[in-house]
Amino acid sequence: MALAAVDPFYRAREEPPVRTEHVPHNLGRYLDALERMVRDEQAHMASARALGAAADAERVQAIRAAAANAERMASSVPTTSEAVPRIQRVREAADSLLSVVVRRPVHPVPSEEYWNEYLYDGLAVRAAASTEPEPVKEEATQPVVEAPVAEATTMEAPALRQRRPAPEATEEKPGPPRLQSDRSLQDALASELLRMASVLKANTAAFSESLERDRVLVEEASGRLDQNLGLMTRTRGQLGVFSKKARTLCASSCAGC
């Protein structure tokens, strides 16, 4: 009985193992994943184009490398007729995405424009000023004309006047537009804070006046309540006297009867 139960186990061990081709199956799953990556990247490119941002070229390069790997996998094993066109479509989609990434200019973000303008504006002005030739050196290269001493004294004054810096050059250059807008915004905020402080001061004065009026009304009401209390006390005393007299009259009338 036991030998008959164990016999199928040993028979199964003697049978040759079933060989399955895993590479074509894995290649199909690999191509499915590649097609999903291509669709995701195309959707990402569409959204990036709408937002004005640059696409990521590293992901496109990864898709092209994965397509090349799929071609190597397909060349090592016999594949179906659907695998080669799918690989070709993935490669063409990756090439089209890469061409869009290369041709598309990368526009700077507004924050980058602000910092570039803030950091390199002064450097660019100084560099342009350093490249301009100095007028003093040009005057030094001119030939020296001999003249009498009296005429030289009269000609020195115009030369000195020419060497003086122009009033426009000494004026301060306006700052970047972003700094000017920030300054105007700060002025507006300061004026708004001043207005709010004045409104708060006026509200405080009005509140104190209303509290003073309420205090006067409470004092008047307390005085009138004291008067009413005195009147009610006197009335109570008079009612006691009247009730005592009434009881006396009732007792005398009952005794007479």
pLDDT higher than 70, residue 148: no
Give percent above pLDDT 90 in the chain: 19
Torsion of CA 217, 221, 223, 227, to 10 degrees: 160
Q: What's the rounded Cα separation, in Å, for the pair 55 and 46?
A: 9
State the DSSP code for 109.
Answer: P
pLDDT tens for each residue of 81-130: 677 788 888 888 888 877 766 444 455 555 555 555 655 555 554 545 55
Q: How confident is the model at residue 206 (pLDDT cuts 50, 70, 90)?
A: very high
pLDDT of residue 11: 53
